[in-house]
Amino acid sequence: MNCDVCKTNQATVFLTQIVDGKMQKVNLCESCSKEKGVTDPTGFALADLLLGLGAAQEMERGGSVQKCPTCGFSQADFKKTGRLGCATCYTTFADGLASLLKGMHKGTAHVGKVPARQAKSIERESQLKTLQRDLRKAVTDEDYESAAGIRDRIRHLDEE
């Protein structure tokens, strides 16, 4: 079994912690466990590793983007503060954030309130996404009749 942090060395330190009724497990190699300060189990919270330090690692693995183009925020900054720089950071670091959010929350998609003014455009965006997916599928299946129909509906949405 490989280390969860560096993903290369053999894991020799196995940690299990139960936080809020959820069991969390981390497997680390010798050098990563020392780096994370796991050697002293009393002063160590697995949650910190998973949500804090681990989060930044997670983000580093997630993508090659180093800085948010909008605000200049970097993964190192996230590691330090646990907070993001701006709204665009959620897109910039999307890949790395995905697994972090999954472990943190009940679901991965928002199902609650939508700002009234944005509701329409959000609805249209998701419709557009579905149609584009259907279109690609129709083209792959060489079902050109359906594809033409879907294309017209996309045009119609665009014109609205």
Partner 1 sequence: MAIHNILGNSGEWLRGEGPHSQIVVSSRVRLARNLKSFAFPGWAKKHERLQILDAIKPQVEALPEMNDAFSVYSQDLSALEKQVLVERHLISREHAAKGVGSAVVMNRKQTLSIMINEEDHLRMQAIRAGLQLKSVFKMIDKADSALEDKLDFAFHAQLGYLTACPTNVGTGMRASAMVHLPALVLSEQINQVIQAVNKIGLAVRGLYGEGTEALGNLFQVSNQTTLGEKEDDIIARLHKVIEQIIEHEQNARQMLLQKKPKTLLDHIGRGYGILRHAYSMNSKEALNLLSFMKLGIDLSFFPEEYRQPVDELFMETQPAHLQKGTQQKLAAEERDSLRAEIIRAKLAAFPRPDVGFTDPTSPPGNGSQN
- As measured in angstroms, the least distance from the Cβ of 1 to partner 1 is 28
- Residues in contact with partner 1 by the rule CB under 8 A: 20-21, 55, 70-71, 73, 77, 81-87, 90-91, 97, 100-101, 104-118, 122, 125-126
Q: Which is nearer to partner 1, 21 or 159 (CB)?
A: 21
* Rounded Cα–Cα distance for residues 29 and 31 (Å): 6
Q: Which is nearer to partner 1, 13 or 154 (CB)?
A: 154
- As measured in angstroms, the least distance from the Cβ of 53 to partner 1 is 14
Could you tell me if 27 and 14 are in contact, meaning their C-beta atoms sit under 8 angstroms apart? yes
Q: Which is nearer to partner 1, 1 or 18 (CB)?
A: 18
* Rounded Cα–Cα distance for residues 108 and 122 (Å): 17
SS3 43: helix
| DSSP labels, 111-150 | -S---HHHHHHHHHHHHHHHHHHHHHHHHHTT-HHHHHHH
- As measured in angstroms, the least distance from the Cβ of 47 to partner 1 is 11
Q: Which is nearer to partner 1, 39 or 121 (CB)?
A: 121
Could you tell me if 95 and 60 are in contact, meaning their C-beta atoms sit under 8 angstroms apart? no
